[in-house]
């Protein structure tokens, strides 16, 4: 026969350009890794599985916040061939068991279990309830150095071994391993394990891509698969949420959209508004809008006696209130010594005692609370308290006297309550936020309701240790009172520089990360364990685009509002001016 001649069609110039663009300049191949440009890569393969694979076991590996590729090859095996092999294997095991019995050896549980498994699989194959497949799993990991590569290999190996699944590096076959992991559908390594349909179904890897539930509100659209992100924040271990984004990234827009939709399902919402962004929303839904300023007619007295929740000790609640007031006074006075802090504590106790308000008096809840000027008078007459009383003068009789030295006259009996602090001086905002948060906390404890507290520009509180500690206490204790705390900030570094910043995040089951600035992306990535792809997504995201984390699940999200929702919550000057022009 004449020799067969194979004609290879040469590549066109366009194909050459594409291949040159995709391919690296060179590969440095070693026995256990490959260097591609400045990156190091290593391919691992799975060679052993346990007797049982639980559903979703792959999710913890896929969700590791590191860069790696996974390829799964599933090659069908002819059922007739599989049955012949299994019959032969069953005969071998049965013969071995019989031989040991004839020699009087103690029975071998491993052999008996293997025989029972083979017989069960034969029955399922014969009845077409199962099929058999040759399965290969390859993992290619990447690192900027050999040290980073080895660290990631240890992480991946430990994760697999914790599930009794064992992997090995493809020694002297790293090129074949890399090709097998690339999206080329080429199984060059061909290291396969026969598995039936049941175990293979547990490989299904897309467990983190779906956040659609039957309850909750719609947060946006899943950019992975265009499904709706519908979630109930109170279905997790706590209802807390953090929202991070640069200025103009859409964080307040997304939060207002959540508020509007939460109101529709009966959730009460309280907002601390630093820029009057929530007024239009509040007016539209008939909420209550309080304007807190030096000249406002609406006041909150921080010395109000807190309501004692049912089942709690009144003395303990009163002492906790004294500690809260001490934190407020520290913000107002600035740095104080330990001796001065002790004086403050005694002055607070004596101020309440002057009104017969003591933990020992069972009727103290019905008495009239003092105000800040009463406390200043007591402090001024105490040894060592005059200098601190002088510092409080501006809050009692000076420029700021109309701010926190009045009796409470606000009514918060509404489904949406907004406290605006825009017209306050910058140095008074932390004091105002502390006073308002304490007032809200007492309200939340007084009656158990499904509530959400939104603190916009939370970094203002985080600049002060006492304010940060109080915000953390809200995040930690709110779950007991059916309260979900939402903290919104654009100053990521200021937020995380506080020792309470990271704990607030870890005590928030939901996180929404929108467009980030290059200057802050590294600290965000480190805090949330983002991959390179997720970092790039946040850097290149448009307004309202980002990442939504709900527990261990996370998706790329696009926040979407309807036409009428947009009209209610927008703060774009162009849209607001356009509406005014049309009205004129």
3-state SS string for 500-549: CHHHHHHCCCEEEEECCCHHHHHHHHHHHCCCHHHHHHHHHCCCCEEEEE
Between 100 and 175, name the one with better pLDDT: 175
Average pLDDT over residues 195-219: 72
Residues 96 and 149 in one domain: no
Distance CA 225, CA 437 (A): 40
Average pLDDT over residues 453-475: 83
pLDDT score at 299: 85
pLDDT-derived band of residue 271, with 50, 70 and 90 as boundaries? Answer: very high
Residues 529 and 583 in one domain: yes
Average pLDDT over the chain reads 83
pLDDT score at 254: 92
Residues 356 and 455 in one domain: no
Nearest to 491 by CA among 459, 463, 469, 467: 459
Judged against a pLDDT cut of 60, whether residue 9 lies above it is answered with: no
Q: Show which of 390, 407, 424 is a domain's final residue.
A: 407
Average pLDDT over residues 364-388: 87
DSSP letters, 435-475, are HHHHHHHHHHHHS---EEEEETTTHHHHTSHHHHHHHHHHH
pLDDT-derived band of residue 52, with 50, 70 and 90 as boundaries? Answer: confident
Sorted by sequence, the CB contacts under 8 Å of residue 3 that are 6+ apart come out as none
Residues 106 and 153 in one domain: no
Residues 263 and 122 in one domain: no
Residues 286 and 431 in one domain: yes
Residues 119 and 165 in one domain: no
pTM for the structure as a whole = 0.61
Give the structural domain span for 375: 301-407
Residues 423 and 542 in one domain: yes
pLDDT score at 574: 58
- Please, what is the Cα angle at 92 between 86 and 97, to 5 degrees? 125
**Crossing angle of helices 386-396/372-380, nearest 10°?**
160
pLDDT score at 210: 58
CB 372, CB 303: distance < 8 Å:
yes
pLDDT score at 12: 56
Residues 197 and 104 in one domain: no
Distance CA 490, CA 249 (A): 9
**Number of domains making up the chain:** 4
pLDDT-derived band of residue 225, with 50, 70 and 90 as boundaries? Answer: low
Residues 364 and 423 in one domain: no
Judged against a pLDDT cut of 70, whether residue 573 lies above it is answered with: no
What does the DSSP 8-state code read for residue 140? E
pLDDT-derived band of residue 7, with 50, 70 and 90 as boundaries? Answer: very low
Measured in degrees and rounded to the nearest 5, phi and psi for residue 88 equal -65, -40
Average pLDDT over residues 301-317: 80
Q: The CATH number of the domain where 351 resides is what?
A: 1.10.8
Sorted by sequence, the CB contacts under 8 Å of residue 125 that are 6+ apart come out as 79, 82, 83, 86, 131, 132, 196
Residues 369 and 256 in one domain: no
Distance CA 39, CA 143 (A): 6
pLDDT-derived band of residue 5, with 50, 70 and 90 as boundaries? Answer: very low
Average pLDDT over residues 304-316: 78
pLDDT-derived band of residue 49, with 50, 70 and 90 as boundaries? Answer: confident
Q: Show which of 109, 130, 151 is a domain's final residue.
A: 130
pLDDT score at 261: 93
DSSP letters, 283-336, are HHTT-EEEE-STT-S----TTPPPP--TTS-HHHHHHHHHHHHHHHHHHHH-S-
User: Among residues of the chain, what percentage have pLDDT more than 70?
Assistant: 91
Average pLDDT over residues 100-122: 78
Average pLDDT over residues 320-348: 88
Nearest to 243 by CA among 548, 551, 561: 548
Sorted by sequence, the CB contacts under 8 Å of residue 239 that are 6+ apart come out as 233, 452, 478, 479, 482, 483, 484, 485, 509, 510
pLDDT score at 168: 92
């Amino acid at each position: 026969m004449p020799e067969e001649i194979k004609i290879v069609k040469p590549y066109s110039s366009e194909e050459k350009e594409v291949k040159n663009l995709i391919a690296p300049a060179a590969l440095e191949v070693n026995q256990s890794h490959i260097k591609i440009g400045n990156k190091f890569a290593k391919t691992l393969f799975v060679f052993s599985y346990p007797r049982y694979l639980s559903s979703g076991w792959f999710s913890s590996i896929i969700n590791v916040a590191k860069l790696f590729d996974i390829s799964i090859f599933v090659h069908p095996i002819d059922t007739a061939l599989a049955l012949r092999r299994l019959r032969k294997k069953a005969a071998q095991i049965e013969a071995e068991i019989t031989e040991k019995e004839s020699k009087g050896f103690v029975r071998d549980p491993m052999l008996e279990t293997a025989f029972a498994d083979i017989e069960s699989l034969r029955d399922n194959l014969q009845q077409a309830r199962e099929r058999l497949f040759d399965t290969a799993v390859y993992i290619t990991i990447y690192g900027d150095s050999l040290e980073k590569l080895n660290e990631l290999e240890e992480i991946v190996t430990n994760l697999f071994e914790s599930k009794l699944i064992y992997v090995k590096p493809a020694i002297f076959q790293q090129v074949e391993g890399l090709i097998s992991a690339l999206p080329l559908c080429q199984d060059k390594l061909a290291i396969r394990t026969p598995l039936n349909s049941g175990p293979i179904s547990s490989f299904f890897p897309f467990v983190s891509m779906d956040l659609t539930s039957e309850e909750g509100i719609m947060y946006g659209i899943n950019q992975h698969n265009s499904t709706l992100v519908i979630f109930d924040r109170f279905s997790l271990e706590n209802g807390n949420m953090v929202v991070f984004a640069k200025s103009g990234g859409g964080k307040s827009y997304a939060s207002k959209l959540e508020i509007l939709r939460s109101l529709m399902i009966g959730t009460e919402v309280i907002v601390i508004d630093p820029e009057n962004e929530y007024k239009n929303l509040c007016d539209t839904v008939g909420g209550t809008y309080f304007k807190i300023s030096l000249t406002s007619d609406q006041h909150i007295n921080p010395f109000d006696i807190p309501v004692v929740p049912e089942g709690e000790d009144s003395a303990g609640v009163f002492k906790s209130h004294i500690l809260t007031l001490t934190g407020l006074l520290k913000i107002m006075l600035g740095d104080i010594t330990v001796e001065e802090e002790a004086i403050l504590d005694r002055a607070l106790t004596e101020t309440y005692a002057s009104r017969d308000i003591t933990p020992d008096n069972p009727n103290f809840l019905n008495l009239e609370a003092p105000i800040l000027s009463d406390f200043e008078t007591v402090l001024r007459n105490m040894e060592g308290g005059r200098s601190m009383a002088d510092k409080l003068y501006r809050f009692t009789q000076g420029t700021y006297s109309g701010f926190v030295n009045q009796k409470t006259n606000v009514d918060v009996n509404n489904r949406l309550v907004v406290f605006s602090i825009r017209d306050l001086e910058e140095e008074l905002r932390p004091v105002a936020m502390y006073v308002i948060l304490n007032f809200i906390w007492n309200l939340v404890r007084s009656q158990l309701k499904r509530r959400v507290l939104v603190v916009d520009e939370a970094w203002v509180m985080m600049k002060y240790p006492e304010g940060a500690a109080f915000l953390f206490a809200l995040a930690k204790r709110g779950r007991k009172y059916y309260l979900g705390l939402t903290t919104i900030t654009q100053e990521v570094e200021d937020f995380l520089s506080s020792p309470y910043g990271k704990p607030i995040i870890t005590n928030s089951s939901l996180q929404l990360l929108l467009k980030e600035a290059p200057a802050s992306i590294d600290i965000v990535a480190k805090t949330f364990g983002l991959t390179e792809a997720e970092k790039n997504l946040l850097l290149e995201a448009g307004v309202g685009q980002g990442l939504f984390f709900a527990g261990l699940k996370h998706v790329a999200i696009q926040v979407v509002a309807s036409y009428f929702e947009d009209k209610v919550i927008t703060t774009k000057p162009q849209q607001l001016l356009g509406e005014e022009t049309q009205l004129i």
